[in-house]
Amino acid sequence: MSRLFRSLSFRLALFYAVLLCVSVALVAAIGYRVWVAWPMQEIESEVDREADETARVLQNEGIDATRLVLEQRMRSAGVRKSFHALIAPDGEIVSANLPSWPRRPSSHMTLIEADTFLDGFEDDYTALVRDRTFADGTRLLVGRDVEDILREDELLRTAALWIVCVTLVLGLAGGWLMSRAIGQRIETLARTARQVMDGDLSERVPVRGTSDDFDRLNETINLMLSRIEALFGTARRVSENVAHEFRTPLARLLTRLEALEQLEPEGTPAREEVDNAIAEVNRLQRIFAALLRISRLEGGRHPLHIQRCDIVSLLEDLVEFYQPEADARGIELVLDAQRPLVAELDLDLMFQALSNLLDNALKYVPGGGRIEAFASGEGALHIGIADNGPGLSREEAARVTEPFSRGEDTAGRAGEGLGLSMVAAIAQVHGARFRLEDNRPGLRALLIVPPGLH
Amino acid sequence: MQVLLVEDDERLAGHIASGLRAAGHLVEHCDNGRDGLVRATCERFDVIVLDRMLPGLDGLKLLGALRATDDATPVLLLSALGDVDERVRGLRAGGDDYMAKPFAMSELLARLESLGRRGSAPAEPAEHLRVGDVEIDLVSHVVSRGARRIPLTLRELRIVAYLARNAGRVVTRSMLLENVWNYDFDPQTNIIDQHISKLRQKLTTGDEVQVIHTVRGVGYVMRVE
């Protein structure tokens, strides 16, 4: 519900409904003034005038003359039927055509129901009455029928109430429908944006072909995506070509250095320098190999060999492979996974990804620390490496999967800053999500592989 | 060994040839695929070093044509395409080993020696290996030295078996990784060294002679001196 209220289109529809209600109320108010309030005022002053006249007759000519005047007034045909009641000081009703009146006189104009029965037919009347009591105790009520005006009043009220109710209901329903229709279009757009963010640059927003506002927006966004994709492709090809073209010259460089190495006897400073140079060339070669691999993975040009794998034995092999290194560093390396746990994935790539993560953990976790290779999951497979080392800040975690970026504390630690980029690329080709979470304390690097892959 | 080198890059070919000659091998060089195929089918070589991408005839096609004539000469593929699936493709096409450029000459030599031996003595799965006084029974998974039985993990057994099969020849770290661990991956640190040192501790106690030796900058060799 709160989500509905947050929807702009729904709020707009609701605002229009309320605006419509206000205008209906305004029209009703004007109608009330014209058809109810003004006629009522006129009749009030008419009744007042008649009451004054009758009072004068009563005071000047006595009660009998008044009775005659009143009875004459009753018989005379007027637009509005006239009503009266004349009560003597002793309580005797001298003359009256009002069926009833309040026991206590009121100083205000009062409305008295005065339905009459004539030949079995009921006529509805309501009298607007001026009620006066004189010094000698004589009570005089003079009034006229206002039934038609009261009906107008009621009609106006009922109409206004219905219109407001119907408007509000239609406004709410229309707003809901509108927000749903617009929400769906926006949701398709957001879905595409999310897929693009997840790395699938070839994703496009569907266009309906109706050339409406959303279609035009979506077409523009699609053009933007095409442009971004083209730029990305260029950048990727360039880095791939660079890595590729460097290989043969590097191979030559390496063979020359090795030739040089053979010329120098072991132990001389020159030989040491040559060995250092060879180590640097090997490092370069590893960087290029990793770059090429990442770029092939990201570009979807690395054929996947998806197979059903026993995840626990994969982790066992991984832990076994790194156990000597962990022992040498005084780090406890444990496995947390239980058979049976099988998943469909590219075994070599997954091993590479986990090996990069474990390698990183071994670099950053201090001696005495603990590293855990874990896997679990029914449905989506959660697999990764958790440690209790220094961990990563939120900003670092967002940045470290970029090529050549490393955690802040990297002084003196080996690596080319490509390990996590490769993990991210491997996650991407598996349709998996790669997350770096706080392990409180430490880092929890996690791959979430969806079930039923490819 | 007689080596046929098919490589179009003149300078790289020169370096490889001189490196092989310095190690005592006889080298014939072709700079394109067609000549390479003609020589490979007409003459006998112990091993062929074949570039993956060649003018005239692509390396993989040459390999396919050679294998189609039932020629089983070991072939080592060289390629600037170092990715894992390229390696798999090369090996599926009938290659016996695969190396990405750039590579260390020592690595190439080590791999060629291993291949050349395989070519001369057709591999029949040995059940029993012996290097000096170290005996490895691959059927019962028992490794012993003299009267002492050495308890090894399955992985350590595979390492020592691989080293023993190549006894006397250098085995590089990447050769170990490819043949002992069944994953195609690239560890970022030299963990292999630590596996070897653990293995050494188990194999050699007291005043026994060391059987696994480090060849600096290249790898390891198993032999009794």
Give the per-residue pLDDT at A454. Answer: 41
Give the residue from A240, A241, A244, A247 with the most B CB atoms within 10 Å of its CB, the best one to mutate.
A247
Q: Going by DSSP bridges, is the β-strand pair B148-150/B142-145 parallel, antiparallel, or unpaired?
A: antiparallel
Give yes or no for A398 touching B (CB within 8 A): no
Summarize pLDDT for A245-285 with one digit per residue, the tens.
Answer: 777 788 788 878 888 887 888 788 888 888 888 888 888 87
**CATH, domain A213-298, list 2.40.30.10, 1.10.287.130, 3.40.440.10, 3.10.20.30:** 1.10.287.130
- Could you give the angle at which helices A147-197 and A8-32 cross, rounded to 10 degrees? 170
Radius of gyration of chain B, Cα coordinates, nearest whole angstrom = 19
Residue B57 to residue B34: CA distance in whole angstroms = 6
Radius of gyration of chain A, Cα coordinates, nearest whole angstrom = 47
| Bridge partners for A332 per DSSP | A370
Rounded to the nearest integer, the mean pLDDT of chain B is 84
Q: Which amino acid is at A354?
A: L
Is omega for the bond preceding B102 within 30 degrees of 0, making it cis?
A: yes
**CATH, domain A2-151, list 1.10.8, 1.10.20, 3.30.1490, 3.30.450:** 3.30.450
Let me know: does A430 contact A345? Beta carbons within 8 Å.
yes
Q: Which amino acid is at A215?
A: D
Summarize pLDDT for A360-386 with one digit per residue, the tens.
Answer: 899 889 989 999 999 998 778 999 999
Answer whether A322 sits within 8 Å of B11, measured CB to CB.
no
Give the per-residue pLDDT at A295. Answer: 80
Give yes or no for A441 touching B (CB within 8 A): no
Domain-wise residue ranges, chain A = 2-151, 213-298, 306-449
pLDDT for residue A414 is more than 80? no
| Bridge partners for B30 per DSSP | B6
Which residues have C-beta within 8 Å of that of residue A280, sequence separation ≥ 6?
none
- Structural tokens at position A409: 């504390």
Give the per-residue pLDDT at A290. Answer: 81
Under DSSP, the state recorded for A119 is: T
Confidence of residue A416 (pLDDT cuts 50, 70, 90): low
Under DSSP, the state recorded for A322 is: H
Summarize pLDDT for A24-82 with one digit per residue, the tens.
Answer: 889 989 999 998 999 999 999 999 999 999 999 988 988 888 999 888 888 886 778 88
Give the per-residue pLDDT at A408. Answer: 52
Query: What does the angle CA B60 – CA B64 – CA B67 come to, to the nearest 5 degrees?
Result: 135
In chain B, residues with a C-beta closer than 8 Å to the C-beta of A253 are: 102
Answer whether A317 sits within 8 Å of B9, measured CB to CB.
no
Answer whether B191 sits within 8 Å of A325, measured CB to CB.
yes
Residue B157 to residue A69: CA distance in whole angstroms = 136
Interface of A with B in 300-319 (CB under 8 A): 302-303, 317
Confidence of residue A412 (pLDDT cuts 50, 70, 90): very low
Let me know: does A436 contact A397? Beta carbons within 8 Å.
yes
In chain B, residues with a C-beta closer than 8 Å to the C-beta of A258 are: 19, 104-106
The interface predicted TM-score (ipTM) is 0.75
Lookup result for tokens 């009744």? A47
Alpha helices (H) in A33-62, listed in sequence order: 38-61
Lookup result for tokens 């770290």? B173
Collapsing DSSP to helix, strand or coil, B166 comes out as coil
CB pairs under 8 A between A and B: 109
| Bridge partners for B128 per DSSP | B137
Residue of A nearest to B187 (CA): A355
Over range A82-110, report the average pLDDT. 87
Let me know: does A172 contact A11? Beta carbons within 8 Å.
no
Q: Going by DSSP bridges, is the β-strand pair B47-51/B75-79 parallel, antiparallel, or unpaired?
A: parallel
Residue A186 to residue A392: CA distance in whole angstroms = 35
- Identify the CA nearest to B161 among candidates B180, B181, B182: B180
- Structural tokens at position A85: 């009641």
- Identify the CA nearest to A381 among candidates A317, A310, A305: A310
Distances (CA, A) of B219 to B108, B114, B175, B192, B211: 12, 13, 9, 10, 14
Residues of chain B with pLDDT under 70: 81-85, 118-125
Q: Please name the CATH architecture into which domain A306-449 falls.
A: 2-Layer Sandwich (3.30)
Residue B13 to residue A343: CA distance in whole angstroms = 46
Summarize pLDDT for A155-207 with one digit per residue, the tens.
Answer: 999 998 998 899 889 888 888 888 888 888 888 899 988 888 776 788 888 88
Interface of A with B in 65-94 (CB under 8 A): none
Provide long-range contacts, Cβ within 8 A and 24+ apart, for A90-93: A90/A137
Interface of B with A in 50-109 (CB under 8 A): 80-85, 100-106
pLDDT for residue A315 is more than 70? yes
Give the per-residue pLDDT at A411. Answer: 44
Give yes or no for B215 touching A (CB within 8 A): no
Confidence of residue A154 (pLDDT cuts 50, 70, 90): very high
- For the beta carbon of residue B65, count every other beta carbon within 10 angstroms: 16
What chain B holds in terms of domains, given with CATH numbers, is 2-120 (3.40.50.2300), 128-222 (1.10.10.10)
Interface of A with B in 337-356 (CB under 8 A): 347-348, 351-352, 355-356
Answer whether A290 sits within 8 Å of B104, measured CB to CB.
no
Residue B53 to residue A121: CA distance in whole angstroms = 115
